[in-house]
Amino acid sequence: MKFNFFVIYIIFITLAIPLNSHANDSIFVGGVTLKTGMDKNYVMSELAKYNNLYKIGEQDFWGIYSKTNNELLGTVQFQKEKVSFVNKGWGSFYNKEALELGETLHGILSKFEEEGANIIRFRTTTTKEPNISIQTVEFRIGKKKITVEIVDDKIYIKRKQIAIQEYLQDSP
């Protein structure tokens, strides 16, 4: 099965960012580190050095586009001349497998939300042996666990694959 493993990386980087961490209160987009509250004139000047900026809609909302290939890198919005919102695009993926992965993860996490789970713990592990490597992302919600494993098996299946599994157990 062909699969763009970059999708997995992006999903888990996004999920791994602690929402209340002071160490993660900025986003690097378009060659500039942006934080909420930064001065609009400074931000627009810095972004314009590396990017094309286009106003989107009627509010003070701007698209940040690469000067080299005009690819949309992200967006920035200002309120009262200060940064109020920043978005960084990590990529778009259109193949069937990528879409199915996104739908599967959405379905699993939506189910947890419906069941009242609002705290998700996660961890990542990597196992490397001479003929196999396994990268695992594990989500825990109460007694439930979801694993997403990227397996590179050079002996039996002789390819990379991804497996998503759900578990229920009494103790972690």
- Domains of the chain (ranges; CATH) run 16-88 (no CATH), 94-168 (2.20.25)
CA 11 – CA 16 distance, rounded (Å):
9
pLDDT for 171 equals: 59
Could you report the per-residue pLDDT of 128-164, keeping only the tens digit for each? 888 888 888 888 877 777 888 888 878 766 778 877 7
User: Between 74 and 44, where is the model more confident?
Assistant: 44
- CA torsion sign for 13, 92, 104, 116 is positive
Q: What is the mean pLDDT of residues 166-172?
A: 64
| pLDDT at position 39 | 97
**pTM of the complete model beyond 0.85:** no
